[in-house]
Chain A
Amino acid sequence: MKKLLILGAGTAGTMMANRLRKKLSTAEWSIDIVDQYAKHYYQPGFLFMPFGIYSEKDVIKPKCKFIPRGVRYVEAKIDRIDAEHNRVFFDSGGHIDYDVLIIATGVKTAPDQTEGMLGNDWRNRVFDFYTFEGASRLHDALREWNGGKLVVHISEMPIKCPVAPLEFAFLTDWWLTEQRLRDKTEITYVTPLSGAFTKPIAAKVLGHLLEEKRIKVVTDFNIGRVDNEQHKIVSWDEKEVGYDLLVTVPTNIGDAAIERSGLGDELNFVPTNRHTLQSKQHENIFVIGDATDLPSSKAGSVAHFQSEVLAKNIFHYIKDEALESQFDGHANCFIESGYRKAFLLDFNYDVQPVLGKYPLPIVGPFSLLRETRLNHFGKLAFKWIYWNMLLKGAPMPGVGHRMSRLGKQIPLEALQPA
């Protein structure tokens, strides 16, 4: 009996367990999946929690519920991967050997990477919304808000779901307006990049939104430290932004077990072939989702498209064939813009977000790069799709892993420089 081992039972790992168990013979292959936590979080839902749109019941379910029959679920913390000997050691002692390994250990926030972020203001005036705990505490903090300086901040790139901080700023503007606190609140969006929108077409189409919503933007801000005494963030070149409430996206970092295994880069992301999803260092190790070092977005939709490619390539690999399936960097995501409206983006390594219809040309029903109510309902409906279809690896009609150019208006400048 050969052994396939999946590390991480989050979005990517769970989808792989489901896809592979359907196809791999139970007589020839065992599948084990390891995770240290019992709860599966619907992470896109964290965005809505501070505003009371979603609560705990929307975003948490037991992990084991989504693991298919025929896959052994092991709740354990990984100490390290010994890639030379095809063995994974657990923190509690013990180990599992593998023939093929899939790393799906994801990414987490690391506020300790910024000087002062975990100081006295942490979870008093400084919050994140990328964790269940952070989003819950921020919900409580907003209930006590009476106005002042509210700063939405990105520490460094890359981050999971790169549009989430923008969405947070838009939803904050809406929520404050409804609470009659908007005129008493100054919202500032602080980014290490050169703008809130960095892709030319999106910038042209969406650039006016921030001004319209009276959100001030500070660009090229690389945080050096959080000053808890004077309640301000300070950049490496001594620029300062004061806050009464700081909603930050801390540095995102891969799992510490990757670092302990010597398999990661400076952010513990695993160097991965951007098309085949095979590890660059070991041919029987594959990497999926946020754990990779790919230039694609760290998002559930990406993990979903990758899972289709990776399932095919695992079959190729075990049959000793060339890894023919190619991931093209395809991602799509909704951008909530408040007032029950949203934008939708669809893009890949080569084509930046453009105008058009999705998933079908002309009829859509979703509009790309346009603010519509239907897009917003699509985002809300996605929660059901996530829990009931996506995690189980069920096919989604009309939504292929390769980005379609049909139905899109693609001017020359929409193609990314090679």
Chain B
Amino acid sequence: MRAAGRLISLELRHNAMPLMLPLIAALFWLTTYRKVMAMPPLWNVRAASLQMNSVIVFVAPLAGAAAWMGSRESRRRVTDTVSITPRARWARLLPTWAATTIWALVAYLGCVAVLYGATARQASWGGPLWWPVAVAAASLPAFTALGFAAGVFAPSRFTAPITAIAAFFILVVSTELIIGSHSYWQITPVVAYAWDLGADPGVATFYPFLPDLPIAQLMFLGGFTVTLLGALALTSEGARALRIAAVGLTVAGLAVAVTAVMLAGTGTMDAHGMIRIPALHDAADDQPVRFTPVCSRTAIPVCLNPAYSSYLAATAATLEPVLEQIAGLPGAPVRILQEAAAYKQDTCQGPGSRVRSGTCSPNGVEINPGSPMSGGSPLVYRLLLPAQLPGPALTTAQMASQTRGDGWDMVRNFIGDGPGASPAQDAVTAAIIMAGKQPGATATFIQNGQDGTDAGRAPGLTTGTPANAAAKRFAALPASARHAWLAGHLAALRVGQITVAQVP
């Protein structure tokens, strides 16, 4: 043991991996750190993105360095000298592989520490997700074993670059072959969430991170590593007991890896956007995460998951003008509560198309609010933040613009506006929105008659119609008069018993 430790120490000092570290650091900064830090400070999205990007960053230099080390004895023409020592080949090579892997793991964990350290300073709630870190970390021994075996079995000066390129392409091609959530190829360590969804901000915040796929991936990577190392021992001379152990190890590793691939093939995306593998699934993971929402001090409080607390001020400021118009009225919501998104695979017409107040991911996953817009007693309105949907990070203005539409939807829902609504309901809805001094509301509802970005949201409000005139009229009333009228006539308005002419 002491000798093995000393050999590893020597190998650590003379390993090719440290030469790769500047390249890895540069690639990590360029392709992972900058990208991840541009994402919202949410542990879920950053952890998933870290896994996906870091594996790709590490694989080529790592496999290349391992292949270089694996081919060292042949390249340096020491094969005869070392092969006549009593230490069996696998026992001689294992410290070299271990040293390469240790360097890789140290480098990777350093990258994780930097990124998670920065996230810890920025994130408002939750903690680091370790499953994605574990999967990416387990991929490193697997790729060093792959590169090392290539170097040992096909030693030449070209083995390292060829292995590096091949490993990179294997990884990239493996993701190209993923179709839907029911794919064996999900076993590739690049996949953190459902591949069609990517590093989605709405996943693993309201519900726990499902370890089903990571468990299968860890099984695969462990089995793959053991198989390759077992193959090294198989081809090495040794005592009968050692050879039997090597056969056992190789077969066991292979069996575990194949089982893991089969398990990954049974995975499906669940309603929370994560891959569920029935054989590995723990029902306890389906329970929502408990949290105390952070709420605004507005007439109707806007309450968000604490992970999204950085969005609270902007969201509340956007919704407050319309919410204060209805606050205190009979049947008005007591609060606006952020809700979890619900995910469905293969239901979208096309990328980016809207579904209710949700949307479709670039790869066609439908993302909707997980429950009806309003419900409960006392009444609560539910809100899906734009930040929960896939897409580029939004500016405050962009987010406010998208949230404003949700505010309008809430007013419509409150007044009973919608398909088949009366002109009076349309007029009152438009008036409340105008009175809320929502930027653009006057222009879109009154001047042009329609919201160009969301046609159909205010049917009947075209210029010159009685409803349009009624809306202008009602909006011009003092807030207290508008509020008093609504308090007395809301029930009748909702059931369509108020005409446009009766709107003051």
The yes or no verdict on A and B being binding partners is no
User: Which residues of B line the A interface, CB within 8 A?
Assistant: none
User: Which residues of A line the B interface, CB within 8 A?
Assistant: none
